[in-house]
Amino acid sequence: MNFIRVSAACPLTNVGDIEFNLNNIEKCIDKALIEKSKLVVFPELCVTSYTCADLFEQQLLLKKAVKGLEKLCRYLQNKDILVAVGLPVVYNNCLYNCACVIFKGKILGVVPKSYIPNYEEFYEKRWFTEGLHIIDERISFYFQQNIPFGVSLIFNCGDFKFGFEICEDLWAVIPPSSYLCLMGANILGNLSASNEIVSKSSYRRNLVCSQSARCMCSYIYASSGVFESSTDLVFSGDLCISENGVLLKANERFKRENEVITSIVDLDKLNSQRLKNVSFRDNIKSFSQKPVNIEFEFENFDYGDFDRKVDKHPFVPENKNEREIRCREIFSIQTAALGKRIVHTNLKKAVIGISGGLDSTLAMLVAVKTFDTLNISRKNIITVTMPGFGTTDRTYSNAVNLCKSLGTEFREISIVDACLQHFRDISHDRNIHDVTYENVQARERTQILMDIANKEGGLVVGTGDLSELALGWSTYNGDHMSMYGVNCSIPKTLVRYLVRYVADREASQNISSILLDILNTPVSPELLPKDISGEISQKTEDIVGPYELHDFFLYYFIRLNYSPEKILFLAEHAFKNNYSSEVIKKWLHVFIKRFFTQQFKRSAIPDGPKVGTVSLSPRGDWRMPSDASFKLWIDSI
């Protein structure tokens, strides 16, 4: 599955007390091992402590630091974990602030700090030399010889490639980690000693997240804690783990005990982003520096319990405030897109088929906002409800009442007689409720809308959403077609929140009530006759499966290019309290088959705006042959 558990640690320290510091470093390692971590990153100069100042020039301290390093190596001899600790190292009569990377008792490499701060509260150049010029050299200690030494060290274990930088390096215009990523590193550690001043923590964590996003990597940050000297500065033990711009885990600062945070990193996610990002590939081509590759091998990749958070609804922000901001932005994107098309075509009217369902409701709300923005009367929005064989009183009433309440021009055109005539024309028995029966109705509705648009000089606004495009849940050249599709990259799970967003802010109690009832109406194309009680008989999710599952599948299949096996694993974790594994697997099979077999519809869809990270436009994000086989994907699960 390409998951790995990583840790950031802040041990108790006593300035200059190497034995005390090592004992606490070992305790943190033990905790990381219990949690099945494969990497633990410690703070800068944690073996001696960061705030030794002129004591760094004391020979006793420097020699004891190396002795302590030997002790730590002995301690790690049989432990299946990569450890990065900080200590001062003498090389060619210069003192370097270094990260020593240890695995199973052996120092794999020593990474010097590239940039030494010497401004404001930092005066490191008084003791340390910049390591930026050290690329591929060798250093020796009395207990181990010929150790790789330089800033270009990449520690390789199969697909997992680790790189390290130290504190100020991250603050550089081009951090060394940027170069390390171009050389292949996908998991980066920063051994840091960053003091606390007001608001610095949020800036620092934003910097960590930004670097992980820019480098499409995981970034593990560990800073010194409160037991550093407080002569002039205070340190908080800030720990955080980020992945591709997302903060996976962060601690509560200013703790007064040993602390270790862990998180599971998803390497497939990082690799997927790098693979599709052309700029990343171009950077690699223009970057000539070669890495110093150091190979090692974990005994296993056991990450323990899978406690990584997997959002059931990846298209919908979990946080309410963030969700509201997202909804407002989406409406702005849709409105700007439709507004441009209206102005460009010089058409003053829009034509929308209104069913009383979610998608057509959202399209109408977008049209209303667009016309208000363009100072065009809402009466120029021609809303048409076209009752058929399956139209229920509930959806019909909601459609009629909403159109009239919003002040659009409302028209009602029954399709029953036209469809009956068409059945006779093509010799179809009206009592056979097959795909022909359904598609005749969908195409009749589309024909009506197109003809009204021609007659009125208007633009047919499409209502289909991203989830329907993915599943091919539309009638080819029926509701599949329009003159502009405003919902084309909005998944069904997000459509609900957009409609609710308007309902919650609508000044009119009447309009808000209608929108809320639409939200509570089962999703249906209403192409089959009503049941005996006059209710919807054809419920989409009973036929193709729950949209929340399909949107989940779609996100990981398109956005991250995951295998069906991995999508199934994540879905089982995310929906463990909602669906059984058998049910999830059943609908994943349906998703794969429909996604492949319905591509021909997506190859011929109208223009429409990209709103989120996933789009299926054949002109932009998704280009796929219509006759590709799904066998490989189905057989994998």
Q: What is the 3-state secondary structure (H, E, C) of 487-512?
A: CCCCCHHHHHHHHHHHHHHCCCHHHH
Q: Catalytic residue among 167, 181, 209, 419, which?
A: 167
For strands 458-462 and 484-485, give the pairing.
parallel
Active site (annotated) includes residue 113: yes
358 is in an annotated binding site: yes
The tokens describing 51, both together, are 């705030």
Q: Catalytic residue among 36, 38, 79, 113, which?
A: 113
Half-sphere CA count of 116, side-chain side, radius 13 A: 16
355 is in an annotated binding site: yes
Judged by DSSP in three states, 170 sits in helix
548 is in an annotated binding site: no
459 is in an annotated binding site: no
603 is in an annotated binding site: no
474 is in an annotated binding site: yes
Q: Which residues pair with 195 in a beta bridge?
A: 235
288 is in an annotated binding site: no
**∠ CA 395-513-411 to the nearest 5 degrees?**
45
For strands 349-353 and 292-295, give the pairing.
unpaired
353 is in an annotated binding site: yes
485 is in an annotated binding site: no
Residues 6+ apart with CB under 8 A from 494: 315, 316, 330, 551, 612
From start to end of 134-281, where are the E strands?
A: 137-141, 144-149, 153-157, 160-166, 187-192, 218-223, 239-243, 246-250, 259-266
Q: Catalytic residue among 35, 44, 259, 526, which?
A: 44
User: Using an 8 Å Cβ cutoff, are 518 and 433 in contact?
Assistant: no
Which of 465, 464, 442, 463 has its CA nearest to residue 389? 442
194 is in an annotated binding site: yes
Distance from C-alpha of 209 to C-alpha of 190, rounded to nearest angstrom = 12
200 is in an annotated binding site: yes
617 is in an annotated binding site: no
Sign of the CA dihedral 402, 404, 407, 409?
Answer: positive
Which of 355, 382, 356, 357 has its CA nearest to residue 368? 382
Distance from C-alpha of 313 to C-alpha of 549, rounded to nearest angstrom = 9
Distance, CA of 495 to chain centre: 19
360 is in an annotated binding site: yes
Amino acid 165 reads E
Distance, CA of 620 to chain centre: 20
Which of 355, 379, 381, 377 has its CA nearest to residue 366? 381
Amino acid 249 reads K
Distance from C-alpha of 83 to C-alpha of 308, rounded to nearest angstrom = 22
290 is in an annotated binding site: no
463 is in an annotated binding site: yes
475 is in an annotated binding site: yes
212 is in an annotated binding site: no
476 is in an annotated binding site: yes
Active site (annotated) includes residue 167: yes
Return binding residues for ATP: 353-360, 463
Return binding residues for deamido-NAD(+): 439, 468, 473-476, 601
Provide the annotated active-site residues: 44, 113, 167
Return binding residues: 119, 194, 200, 353-360, 439, 463, 468, 473-476, 601
